[in-house]
Amino acid sequence: QQQVKQSPQSLIVQKGGISIINCAYENTAFDYFPWYQQFPGKGPALLIAIRPDVSEKKEGRFTISFNKSAKQFSLHIMDSQPGDSATYFCAAASGETSGSRLTFGEGTQLTVNP
Partner 1 sequence: DTAVSQTPKYLVTQMGNDKSIKCEQNLGHDTMYWYKQDSKKFLKIMFSYNNKELIINETVPNRFSPKSPDKAHLNLHINSLELGDSAVYFCASSQGLQRTEAFFGQGTRLTVV
Q: Which residues bind partner 1 (CB under 8 A)?
A: 31-32, 34, 36, 38, 41-46, 49, 51, 87, 89, 93-94, 96-104, 106-107
Least distance between partner 1 and beta carbon 95 (Å):
8
Least CB distance to partner 1 at residue 26 (A): 16
CB 104 within 8 A of CB 89: yes
Round to whole Å and give the CA distance between 24 and 4. 6
Report yes or no: 35 and 49 within 8 Å, Cβ to Cβ.
Answer: yes
Is the CB of 66 or the CB of 89 nearer to partner 1?
Answer: 89
Contacts (Cβ under 8 Å, ≥6 apart) of 88: 21, 35, 36, 37, 38, 47, 75, 107, 108, 110
Q: How far is the CB of 114 from partner 1 (least distance, A)?
A: 24
Which residue lies nearer to partner 1 by CB, 12 or 18?
A: 12
CA atoms within 13 A on the CB side of 22: 7
Residue 43 beta carbon to partner 1: minimum distance, rounded to whole angstroms = 3
- Closer residue to partner 1 in complex, CB, 2/15: 2
